[in-house]
Each structure stands twice: as C-alpha cells, then as structure tokens.
Structure 1
Amino acid sequence: MIIIGERVNATRKRIRTAIQQKDTVTIKDEIVMQDMAGAHYIDLNAGTGSGVIQQEKDDLCWLIDIALECTEKNLVLDAAGPEILQAAAKHLDDRRPWMLNSINGELSSRSMEIIELASKYQVPLIALAMDKKGIPPETDKRLAICEAILNEVRKRGLSEELIFFDPLVIPIATDTNQALVTFKTIERINELFPQVKTTLGLTNISHGLKKRFFVNGAFLTTAVCFGLHSAILDPTQKSIQQSVIMGNLLAGKDKFCRKFSRAIRVGLFEEEER
C-alpha cells in the first residue's frame, strides 16, 4: 500500500499561512511527521490562491527545497497549471523520485502538457476519473474516462505502469451507493488495465458526516480489499494506520500476519480483546 501524505497542501489554512510567511519550521514539522508515520510520498501543493503564477512556482520550489533537506521520501508535485509543474520539475532535477498530481479526462491542452511532462521524465502520474461534466455516478462511465486517458498516455510515450487512476469518491452523505461505486471501479480498473495502479483521496467519502474518522477508516480498509494500491491521506492519524494494516491483512497482503503482529507489539492496537 503506497501512502501519499496530504498534509502539505495550501488549501489548509495553517499551510497557506506558513507558505505566505515562509515559515520553514512549520513546513518541516509537517513533512517529518508524515515521514515518521510511514508515508512513502509527500505531496507538495503551494496553491495559495494568489493568482500569480510566478509566485506559485517560487513557492512550490521553496517547498521542494525544504522537503529535500528534511526527508528522504519521494515527492508529489501538485499544482493546477502545467507551467508550475514544469518549473518545479526542472528545479527538482531528478534529485529525488517524484510523481505528478494530476490530470483528468477532459484531456484539455493543460492535461496534454502534463502527460508530456510525465512522459519526458517517465514519472508516475495521477489521473482522475472525471471529465468536463464532473464525476460520473456510474462505474462504467468512470471506466470509459480511464480508457480514454490511457489511450492518450500511450500515444505520448508514458509507460502504463506509471499511471495511478483515481476512481474518485463522492460523499456517501450525498448518495449512499457511492462507496460501492468506488469499490467496483477500483476492482474493474484492476481487471481491465492490469498494468496501472489505483489511488484515491480518502476523506471526501465522509464529507458532511459526524465521526468522520470511523467512516474514513472503514472505507479505506474495504478499498484495500477491493485492490486499491495507494491512497492520499493523513498518515499521522492512528485510525488511518490501523485501517491500512487491517486492509492488507484482510486482503491477503500480509504474509503470516507479520505486519499485523508487529503493529500489535508496538502498541498500534491498544484496545484489549473482548
């Protein structure tokens, strides 16, 4: 299970303020916490909403420099504009393995530029199962979008093994069937496109509900059982760590239950058996 740490994202007020004030300590703390919690990738998003492209380029490069200093984990370059991602990729200059986040099925000139950037460097690329109409509520339509994206990726020379399809998550409070739709989409992506990987942003499933961590944890464990390869989440949450362990265990991905047993020994599952 590939964990992508989501905490260094300028949509969070704490991170946005830290970027604007060039608060290195706060950013470093966020990165190190996720590193120690087991993240494999650290997502870096500097979109503070300033509307100034050069500022976002500079801010993302600043985040990269901090990450290179305080962690050895791989990085995810996360930005809306291809020019920002291009500047960040050039600045990173292959000093660390990295991933691009993201494109969608609209396949606009923006998406094409990002695909070509991923192909140039042969790095992983997250692709969202949505188009200009939004997120389809049905599995089949999401799969059709994935297939269209994959065709464009092949044309531009990016290896299929580097694609991470995000089947997307519509809040279950909006439509109680949507968790099942996402699970089925993960399963079908794995069947139809066995060379690619799957990922998803976890917390949208519980939007609008109370006790969200219960919903997030159950959803993540089940998604792993349906074949999810990766997730974008907060790895510092104990409930998330438990859900990853349980998902791998129940999906048959924990040989001899070793990871589960190790987690018990280190106190991750504190509750006494009943």
Structure 2
Amino acid sequence: MEVSCRGPLFVGIDIGGTNCRVALVDDSGHVLHRRKEALRDLSFDACLEQIGGLVTAVLQGQAKSCDDIAAIGVGCPGLCYAGKVSAAANLPGWRDVPLAQELQQRCGDRPTFLVNDADAALEAEVWTGDESIRDVEDIVLLTLGTGVGTGILSGGRLLQGSRGCIEGGHVIVHPGGRRCGCGQNGCVEAYASGRALGERYMEKMASTAQPTEKVSGEMVVKRARAGDQGALETLSEAVEALALLCIALARILDPQAFVLVGGVASAGDMLLEPLAT
C-alpha cells in the first residue's frame, strides 16, 4: 500500500551477519515500507547484489524510485570508517571494501552514509526509541545478534574513535577462552552472541551424548525458559561475559543507562535481572 508523504524520504539499510533489512522512512523516522531477507552468500559482491535488490523492492512497494529519496543510511557490523568496512568478523572477506561508494553507485548516486551497526542502532534509539532515553546524553547500547556490537553516546556525542574501531564485543573477558571469529580467544562475542549461544549449547549437548539439531541463539533462550539445563548453563555463561563487559564500560564511561537490543535480548528478565545484580 502506498503511503502519502510530503517530506524527504530516506532508505535505511541494516546489514547483519545473518540477515539484511531495508526500510523506506520519512524525516520523522516513520517506517513506510520494509523488507528483510537472510543473506544467501556473505561475499561482498553477492551481498551488494542482494542489498540492491532489496532497495529496489522496498522503493517499488511505495511506487518510488531512487530519484525520490534524499539519502541512504547504512549500518554494518565491523570496523566502519570513511565509507569503508575495514574488517568484519562475521562477514568473511570484507577487507577495506568501499561499501558506501558501491551502494551509492547502485542506488542512483544518492548520498550514502555508512556507520557501524551498533552506532546506527544507538542513534535510532535516541531519535525514535523509548522516551525515557531520548534526553539522556550518556548511554551504552549493546547489540546482541549474530555478533556483539557496542554504541556509545558520551556527553551527547557519538564516540567512534580515531578509526571507527570501538568494538566492545571483542573485549577479552576470558583470556585463553573460546575462539572468536575475529581470531582472538575469550572475547565477549564468543560467549554472548546469538551464534555463540547456539554453538555452545550444541557443544554441551554433544558432551552429554544427547544429539540435537543446529540451534539458534533465540532457540537457546526459549529452551532456557522451558528449564533446559544445558540452555540455562549456556545463557549463564553469556550473562557472565556481558556483565564483565558492562562493569568495565561502567567504570570507564559512567553511563546513565545501558540499552540491550537484538535477538539475544529477547531473553528479557533472564538476561537483565542477573546483569543488574
């Protein structure tokens, strides 16, 4: 259904390690049309092709074209700076790829801006999220999806570092621990991401000779709610890793609030209550 809108229109692109979401929004942040697809091939060229198709589908859903949009905003995991993705643990092969430039060329040469996905999520929460944090100037946001990302607002300013290399998910909390996709051992992401939850749960089931199909982080959360001991232990490990990260960030940044988003955050009180204590 086409929605009438008099103000400028924008396309938002959220690239994850598993899915891609594209939305057409107005200048108040209202979503007019959206699409989501699982990424079929994580190579850079294949992702560009799929994302371009999603943008076209979203625009056509509102009888629009690239000529009708003012700009494009892209959130992507990994080290994002000056329009490029330097590296992304969950997007293998993405090394110094000019993501913003390539998407701009595919989308009618509309101005295209790239930021880390956690930074984009934080900006969105402050802009259109819960009213309780809209005027808060010191916030840490953690994205708990395929990976673990960190967005930081300090004194009302988004912190991105000198090269866009703020990656809380790759803070080491268990030296010599589980191998992370970034190549380090013991990162928060190796315990608290959706991918890690699924992998760790399957390892526990294998050690007890209880065969299980491949499971996602969301499935582990559901099984934990049902009292599955292996799932409860896996979730407890994730909580411990996140708690260590939050304690360190709290000591350094003294934020007014922590915000958790993403699939693993669906654990709700099972995650928040132990973190709060």
Give the TM-score range, shorter chain: 0.3 to 0.5
Q: Which structure exhibits the higher relative contact order, with contacts defined as CA atoms closer than 8 Å and separated by 6 or more residues?
A: 1
TM-score for both structures, normalised by structure 2:
0.32
TM-score for both structures, normalised by structure 1:
0.32
More helix by share: 1
